[in-house]
């Protein structure tokens, strides 16, 4: 985050205006349309940072496991194809690291569309992308940029963890409720299956 980057709003606006092609379903097996690995390769060429090998980690195998991760990667490809990034000499390894590790982490916490529709999540994604590539928003000090990213990140992580705890507690209660004698006695049906 040592270097000053673009104006933050230019990036959040770009995310809000993500075109349909970058919101389309990632191709995984026989489903979806967009081959994310090909889009990543195009992005790297656009950034003059061609990959040493095909980015195989962006070819999904399991729709349920991979679709959100690849959908977020697709959004980042759109974000990083902004003119500012194109005119900046970026490190291919760092770009790949951002697209890979960061998407993996975010995919367990947030549904991809929220990075388009929710202002806080747009800001979080834009700031994360800048930070992982070594930049901070224009007009902000290092301390300001770090503080804001931490706030967004930790607030969201706290929300996600709280929701996960609540979900686990509810699942436990459901399992208990179903094991009760009253649930076991069931209720009348006219047929059995």
Partner 1 sequence: MKTETITDADRYPTLTEDGRRMLEFMREHPHAPTFRNQSGNRLNVDDLSRVREFEREAQSAEVGWRPSELPSWLAKFVEQSFAEVPFYRRYGSPPAEFQDLPTICRADLSRDIAQFVPDSTPIDRLINFRTSGTTGHSLLLASHPAVAASYLAFHKRALRRFGIELRHGRGQVGVVLVGFQRKCFTYISVTPAMDESGLAKINLHPADWRDPDDRAKYLDALAAEVYTGDPIAFAELLKLPLATKPRAMLSTSMTLLPAMQQQLQERFGCPVLDLYSMNEAGPVAVADVTAGGHVLLQHRLYVQTLDASGQQVPIGERGEVTLTGGFNFCLPLLRYRTGDYASLRFNGTEPVLVGLEGRPPIRFRNTRGEWLNNIEVTHALQRFAIPQFTLHQDRDGGLLLRLSGAGHEPNHIRNALLELFGSGQRLILEQVDSFDGKVVQYTSDLAGSQP
Residues of this chain that bind partner 1 (CB under 8 A): 23-25, 29-32, 63-64, 67-68, 71, 107, 111-114, 167, 170-175, 177-178, 180-193
CA–CA gap between residue 130 and residue 149 (Å, rounded): 10
When the beta carbons of 1 and 36 are compared against partner 1, the nearer one is: 36
Q: How far is the CB of 38 from partner 1 (least distance, A)?
A: 18
Determine the distance from the C-alpha atom of residue 85 to the mean position of all C-alpha atoms in its chain, rounded to a whole number: 19
CA–CA gap between residue 45 and residue 6 (Å, rounded): 21
| CA distances in angstroms from 184 to 170, 178, 180, listed in the order given | 19, 7, 6
Q: How far is the CB of 5 from partner 1 (least distance, A)?
A: 28
Q: DSSP letter string over 43-61?
A: HHHHTT---SS--GGGSBS
Q: How far is the CB of 16 from partner 1 (least distance, A)?
A: 15
Question: Helices (DSSP H) in 56-107: which residue ranges?
Answer: 63-80, 83-86, 92-97, 103-107
When the beta carbons of 17 and 190 are compared against partner 1, the nearer one is: 190
Q: How far is the CB of 163 from partner 1 (least distance, A)?
A: 9
When the beta carbons of 4 and 105 are compared against partner 1, the nearer one is: 105
Give the pair of three-digit tokens for residue 108. Answer: 């367990």
When the beta carbons of 2 and 186 are compared against partner 1, the nearer one is: 186
Task: Give the chain's end-to-end CA distance (angstroms, integer).
Answer: 62
Q: How far is the CB of 138 from partner 1 (least distance, A)?
A: 30
When the beta carbons of 74 and 129 are compared against partner 1, the nearer one is: 74
């Amino acid at each position: 985050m040592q270097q000053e980057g673009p104006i933050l709003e230019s990036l959040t606006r770009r995310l809000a205006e993500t075109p349909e092609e970058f919101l389309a379903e990632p191709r995984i097996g026989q489903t979806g349309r967009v081959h994310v690995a090909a889009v990543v390769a195009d992005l790297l060429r656009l950034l003059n940072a061609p990959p040493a090998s095909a980015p195989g980690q962006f070819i999904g195998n399991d729709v349920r496991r991979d679709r959100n991760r690849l959908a977020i990667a697709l959004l980042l490809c759109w974000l990083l194809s902004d003119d500012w990034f194109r005119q900046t000499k970026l490190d291919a390894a760092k770009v790949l690291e951002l697209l890979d590790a960061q998407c993996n982490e975010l995919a367990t916490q947030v549904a991809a569309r929220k990075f388009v529709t929710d202002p806080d999540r747009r800001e979080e994604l834009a700031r994360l992308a800048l930070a992982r590539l070594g930049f901070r928003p224009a007009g902000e000090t290092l301390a300001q940029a770090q503080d804001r990213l931490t706030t967004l990140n930790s607030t969201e992580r706290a929300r996600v963890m709280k929701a996960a705890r609540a979900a686990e507690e509810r699942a436990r209660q459901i399992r208990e409720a179903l094991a009760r004698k009253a649930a076991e006695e069931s209720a009348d049906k006219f047929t059995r299956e």
